[in-house]
Amino acid sequence: MRTLWVETTTHRYPIQIGSGLLQRLPSLLEEVGWTPERRLFVVTDTQVAPLYLKEAVTTLQQAGYTVGSVVFPAGESSKTLQTLEQMTGEALRQGLDRKSGILALGGGVVGDAAGFLAATFMRGIPFVQLPTTLLAHDSSVGGKVGVNHPLGKNMIGAFHQPDLVVFDVDTLKTLPSREIASGFAEVIKEALIWDETFVRWLEENRAGLMALDAARLVEAIAGGCRMKAEVVSQDEKESGLRAILNYGHTIGHALEAVAGYGQFTHGEAVAIGMVGEALLGERLGLTTNVSQRTQALIQSYGLPYQLPTTAEVDELLVAMRRDKKAAQGALTFVLPRGIGSVEIVKEVPEAAVRQVLTQLKGEGLSW
């Protein structure tokens, strides 16, 4: 088992990564001060429930916990205020109170929505992240929780740190290959913004990683989590540095909203966004030679790197002006200075963004 720590000025919690960890949940909870007096509420989705809910609940019940649960339909389109309201109703019906705790068992959609339930239920109760997708190595760390609005990704949310993150890598064995690729997009992002050596390692170990070689996979997850934990520990609420974790997301989030939630996975949208934002960095003269290597890496992990030809540039621009990083609608991006290094650039000229979006459109893709 690998243990990493998030240490902000107000919160300190472990990230446990390894095999067989769902069976060890009671002792991992005990290490962060949770005991069976705390009533538990497991939040998961319809895809994950038949795979892991019973195992998690039984293990906890055997340790003396009272455990309730709620299951919502799998997919990005469930990350809504309506789901939050339904989960809140179920939590109330099942008798949760301020001393209860929430367990988010699933991918990033479950983690974000269940975390937001924890942030808002009776004005906030503790929660634990139990990620089951590769992508959720990113979403389970750092305390950004929330739901989408039809006009923009994660527009309704909060910062609410978990007490613990437990990543049982055995759960990845059932993850569809499209979701594995999607998860690598965020690992690639973390490498591209922070560490060229990690980029090289991802290039050199692609075959083993794509074949889900256990040791390499733990290495990739731990590498991504370490970078995320370092950034979050320095800037918990995104007053500056943390925005670099948004590399590829100005375009990516706009694409997810405009195409309709769930059309692209989050990782796919971010992958296309990173290629676009690398091209933008080059166009603005911030860097040279980043887009080719970025595209090659993304392509080698089976991820898309082009916008559909049907993509409406005007609609994407409207969505980008609403991005949370933008002040007064000025187009704001995280752009590369080189491989392993980025900067936040405000007031990017629209003409340059238009040119890049047009360049990014691939032949034969549509939604």
Ligand X SMILES: O=C(O)C(=O)C[C@@H](O)[C@H](O)[C@H](O)COP(=O)(O)O
Ligand Y SMILES: NC(=O)c1ccc[n+]([C@@H]2O[C@H](COP(=O)([O-])OP(=O)(O)OC[C@H]3O[C@@H](n4cnc5c(N)ncnc54)[C@H](O)[C@@H]3O)[C@@H](O)[C@H]2O)c1
Binding-site entries for NAD(+): 108-112, 132-133, 144, 153, 171-174
Closest to 316 (Cα-Cα) out of 331, 336, 295: 331
Contact (Cβ atoms closer than 8 angstroms) between residue 304 and residue 272: yes
- The only residue of 79, 137, 153, 226 in contact with ligand X, by rule CB under 6 A: 153
Q: Does 137 bind ligand X (CB under 6 A)?
A: no
- The only residue of 139, 250, 287, 332 in contact with ligand Y, by rule CB under 6 A: 139
Catalytic residue among 79, 266, 283, 325: 266
User: Which residues are annotated as part of the binding site?
Assistant: 108-112, 132-133, 144, 153, 171-174, 186, 249, 266
CA distances to 22, 31, 81, 167, 263 from 56, in Å: 6, 17, 26, 13, 30
Shortest distance, position 128 Cβ to ligand X, whole Å: 18
Q: Does 142 bind ligand X (CB under 6 A)?
A: yes
Catalytic residue among 79, 246, 268, 325: 246
Question: Site map for ligand X, 279-318, x if CB under 6 A?
Answer: ----------------------------------------
- Buried b or exposed e, range 124-162, using 16+ CB within 10 angstroms: ebbbbbbbbbbbbbbbbbbbbbbbbeeebbbbebebbbb
CA distance 294 to 194: 14
Beta strand 12-18 with 2-7: parallel, antiparallel or unpaired?
antiparallel
* Cβ-closest position to ligand Y: 108
Closer to ligand X at the Cβ: 16 or 139?
139
Is 249 considered catalytic here? yes
- The only residue of 25, 74, 275, 353 in contact with ligand Y, by rule CB under 6 A: 74
Neighbours of 359 (CB within 10 A): 15
Shortest distance, position 186 Cβ to ligand X, whole Å: 6
Stretch near ligand Y under the rule CB under 6 A, chosen from 16-24, 64-72, 73-81, 94-102: 73-81
Q: How many CA atoms lie within 13 A of 160 on its CB side?
A: 24
Closer to ligand Y at the Cβ: 236 or 282?
236
